[in-house]
Structure formats: structure tokens, C-alpha cells
């Protein structure tokens, strides 16, 4: 699922001035609603209408015929002394014009129809601190871009790229303010095609869908720096990849997205699309991934999600869910999910909550624990779902 709201929202922020907008000139008071962020013309772009054959490594790279796409990494890191951190690193590509229109523009190193946005966030669990940063740039003059072979996607000196001649491992590098991340990522499970063989519909209208795959476990090692303190870290990451020319349905205002890695080797992805009244859209879905990487699709109704607590942001005054009881009855899976920090709200173009969570529960009678990430969008525009 992920934040295609954020990528489309960037179009409204930039407009014709987008060619030169940079992170240090962006008005921090500007905020978009989900409905505004998902506005925009889709004529001339490719649409996700039917299942397709995925090709790797090509599909790790860009798909410029679609309006938006993103490379989304979240993960948990720890030191040898068991100090722990959560991180998010996301790169978004946004097309300003469809290929047929853009191809008529005279060639120039200054001209581009692609914009890029990136988010970097770090949760320092021991210190109870959350850091979040955003960058924006045009896809010209080498400022930002994406290539498939060799794989690389970058925005200035933030980048995700293959480390050598082989497709994997990948290296992530980003530095902003007090925070620096330098990580190496190696898949422990194969690619999982979400939805129907990678076609992930968001509503009943043809083309209102994305192509979506995940790698639910990547071994992660490297270095993390906060201020003058440097840590050697290791852990697990989760990769989500989507590309689409799509939007929420008329009655949909946002989503709650869960990516959970359990200590007995299972992983769970679930997103609940929310209607304006806070109820669940029938287009909500996900997958349960076993230790060997086999995926069991989960349709709407397969997962029962109850909000057990809420948190009101002191920054935005928005109220978000802040603890959950998640059940998959057919799989005898029952999980209790709580944030590792309450305040993991990103104060960026479209304000949203995304943060590290801890998980405990049981699966087929076996006690399990785990870690994961939750993303919450569209709050402040509709009722909270199922809150006490």
C-alpha cells in the first residue's frame, strides 16, 4: 500500500515552481489533506489494470510511464549492547507530465518531467527521541534519479544502490542534521507479490490499483551516527515497492498499514483502508509470509483489527490510534501491537504517523514476539476506527 498519498501530494506543493523547489525553501506551515494530495490528472499515464510478469532486477528500477512510485524501507537496528533504533528511508518518484506530453519537450539537461522526494526518520528508543527529515529535488542535472542496471535511486547524497556487480546486497546512505545512516541490506526471503500476482487494487474502478511487491526480511548491518556518537548496528529491514497511477476511492480517507516481523520466522503485512466514517473498506488486504517466504494472501474480513489506545500529537493536535489487537482467526494468530515511542509523527509535506512498534501474542498456540512498523495516514479527516 504505502504512502502514494505523499507522492501525489508533492505535485500540489510544487506546481510550476517545482523545477527549483528545495528542502530549505519549503514552507513548513503548508499541509495537505489526503483528498487534496490524491487529486491530479491521470490522462496519458499507464495504469495497473491486470496482473503482469515481474522481471528482476529490472523491476527494482524505475517505471516512468506510471505517475508515481516509491522505494520504501523500514527496519529495526540494535547494537552489541542491545541499544535499539527504528528507521525509515523512503524515496518517491513523481511524474509532472505523462510520457506523450513530455516527449515533445526539446531535449535539455535542465528539463525533466520527474520529481523526487525522500524521507528519513530515526527512532532512538533508549533516549525516547524521534528525528525526521524531508528532501525534494528535480530529476535533472544528476540531482536525483533512478536506474535499474546497475540499481540505484538517489536524491542528492541520499541513496539506495547495489553494492557491487551483483544485484544484492544493497547499500543505503543518508545523512541529515545529527543523523547518519550507512547500511548494507541482504534479502533473507524472496520477493513476495502482493495482491493478485502483484496487482493490488485499491477500489472497484479499473486501473485504481498499483503493482506492489515486498521483501519482508533483509539482513541489515552497518553504522548509525547520532551527533558525535557512532554505533555499529545490525537488524532486519522490510522493503516495499509500488508504482501506480491511482488514487483513493471517493469514500476513502486514509489507511493503517502494518509490517510485522515475528520471532518464529513469520511476517505479516496488512493495510486497512478507512472510509470517512472510520469503518474498514472492503478493499483492505495483506499477506502472511511463512519462514520459507511462501505468501498467503489475506482479503478484507480475514483480519480483525481493534484499536486499544489513542495518542494526541502535541505538534498537530491530531489523534492517532496507538495500540492494536490484531487477529487472523483462520491462522490462529493473535497479536498485540504497541508503539516503541508514542511520538513518531512526521512533520513533512503531508503530516502522518509512521513508527517502530513492538509485537507480542500467539500463533497456533505458540507464544510469539516481534518488531515492526505501522503507518497511519488521513487522520484528522475522519472518525477513529473502533477506538475505545
In eight-state DSSP terms, residue 156 is T
Least confident stretch, 14-18, 52-56, 172-176: 14-18
Name the burial class of residue 344, with classes exposed (0-12), middle (13-18) and buried (19+) by CB atoms within 10 angstroms of its CB. buried
Residue 30 has pLDDT above 60, yes or no: no
- Measured in whole angstroms, the distance separating CA 139 from the mean position of its chain's CA atoms is 21
Least confident stretch, 32-46, 114-128, 292-306, 325-339: 32-46
State mean pLDDT over 353-369. Answer: 98
pLDDT the model gives residue 340: 98
* Cis before 43? omega within 30: no
CA distance 287 to 67: 26
pLDDT the model gives residue 103: 53
pLDDT the model gives residue 382: 56
Assigned architecture for domain 4-376: Beta Barrel (2.40)
pTM to 2 decimal places: 0.90
CA distance 160 to 73: 10
Residue 14 has pLDDT above 60, yes or no: no
> Does residue 135 or residue 275 have the better pLDDT?
135
pLDDT the model gives residue 384: 62
| pLDDT mean across residues, the chain | 88
SS3 label, residue 331: helix
Which pLDDT tens digit goes with each residue over 206-219? 888 999 999 999 99
pLDDT the model gives residue 37: 47
Which pLDDT tens digit goes with each residue over 40-68? 567 889 999 999 999 999 999 999 999 99
246: pLDDT confidence band, cut at 50, 70 and 90?
confident
106: pLDDT confidence band, cut at 50, 70 and 90?
low
| 133: Cβ contacts below 8 Å, ≥ 6 apart | 23, 119, 120, 121, 176, 177, 179
Least confident stretch, 138-152, 211-225, 373-387: 373-387
CA dihedral 201, 204, 206, 208 (to 10 degrees): -50
pLDDT the model gives residue 13: 46
- End-to-end CA distance of the chain: give it in Å, rounded: 26
Of 165, 154, 151, whose CA–CA distance to 57 is shortest?
151
State mean pLDDT over 8-26. Answer: 38
pLDDT the model gives residue 34: 43
- Cβ atoms of 379 and 315 closer than 8 Å: no
- Cβ atoms of 253 and 34 closer than 8 Å: yes
pLDDT the model gives residue 109: 67
State mean pLDDT over 173-188. Answer: 98
SS3 label, residue 222: strand
134: pLDDT confidence band, cut at 50, 70 and 90?
very high
Please give the share of the chain, as a percent, with pLDDT higher than 90. 74
pLDDT the model gives residue 277: 85
Which pLDDT tens digit goes with each residue over 57-102? 999 999 999 999 999 999 999 999 999 999 999 999 999 888 765 4
- Cβ atoms of 121 and 76 closer than 8 Å: no
Least confident stretch, 41-45, 136-140, 163-167, 304-308: 41-45
Amino acid at each position: 500500500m504505502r504512502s502514494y498519498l505523499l507522492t501525489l501530494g508533492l505535485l500540489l506543493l510544487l506546481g510550476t515552481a517545482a523545477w527549483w523547489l528545495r528542502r530549505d525553501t519549503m514552507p513548513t506551515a503548508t499541509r495537505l489533506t489526503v483528498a487534496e494530495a490524491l487529486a491530479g490528472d491521470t490522462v496519458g499515464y499507464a495504469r495497473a489494470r491486470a496482473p503482469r510478469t515481474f522481471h528482476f532486477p529490472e523491476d527494482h528500477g524505475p517505471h516512468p510511464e506510471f505517475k508515481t512510485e516509491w522505494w520504501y524501507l523500514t527496519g529495526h537496528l540494535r547494537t552489541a549492547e542491545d541499544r535499539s533504533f527504528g528507521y525509515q528511508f523512503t524515496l518517491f518518484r513523481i511524474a509532472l507530465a505523462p510520457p506523450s506530453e513530455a516527449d515533445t519537450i526539446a531535449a535539455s539537461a535542465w528539463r525533466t518531467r520527474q520529481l523526487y522526494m525522500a524521507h528519513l526518520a530515526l527512532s532512538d528508543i533508549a533516549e525516547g527521541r524521534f528525528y525526521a527529515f524531508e528532501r525534494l529535488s528535480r530529476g535533472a542535472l544528476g540531482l536525483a534519479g533512478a536506474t535499474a542496471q546497475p540499481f540505484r535511486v538517489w536524491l542528492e547524497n541520499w541513496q539506495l544502490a547495489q553494492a557491487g556487480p551483483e544485484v544484492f546486497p544493497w547499500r543505503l546512505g543518508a545523512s541529515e542534521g545529527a543523523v547518519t545512516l550507512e547500511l548494507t541490506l541482504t534479502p533473507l526471503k524472496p520477493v513476495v507479490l502482493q495482491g493478485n500476482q502483484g496487482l493490488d487494487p485499491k477500489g472497484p474502478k479499473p486501473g485504481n490499483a498499483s503493482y506492489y511487491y515486498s521483501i519482508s526480511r533483509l539482513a541489515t548491518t552497518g553504522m548509525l551516527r547520532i551527533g558525535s556518537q557512532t554505533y555499529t548496528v545490525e537488524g532486519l529491514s522490510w522493503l516495499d515497492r509500488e508504482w501506480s497511477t491511482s488514487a483513493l476511492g471517493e469514500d476513502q480517507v486514509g489507511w493503517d498499514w502494518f509490517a510485522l516481523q515475528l520471532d518464529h520466522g513469520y511476517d505479516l503485512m496488512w493495510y486497512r483502508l478507512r472510509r470517512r466514517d472510520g469503518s474498514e473498506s472492503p478493499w483492505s488486504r495483506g499477506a502472511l509470509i511463512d519462514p520459507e517466504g511462501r505468501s498467503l494472501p489475506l482479503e478484507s474480513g480475514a483480519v480483525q483489527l481493534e484499536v486499544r489506545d489513542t495518542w494526541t500529537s502535541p505538534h498537530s493536535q491530531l489523534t492517532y490510534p496507538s495500540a492494536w489487537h490484531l487477529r487472523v482467526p483462520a491462522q490462529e494468530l493473535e497479536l498485540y501491537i504497541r508503539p516503541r515511542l508514542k511520538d513518531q509523527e512526521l512533520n513533512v509535506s503531508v503530516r502522518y504517523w509512521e513508527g517502530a512498534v513492538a509485537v507480542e501474542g500467539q500463533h497456533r498456540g505458540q507464544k510469539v514476539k516481534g518488531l515492526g512498523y505501522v503507518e497511519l495516514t488521513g487522520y484528522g479527516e475522519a472518525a477513529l476506527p473502533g477506538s475505545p
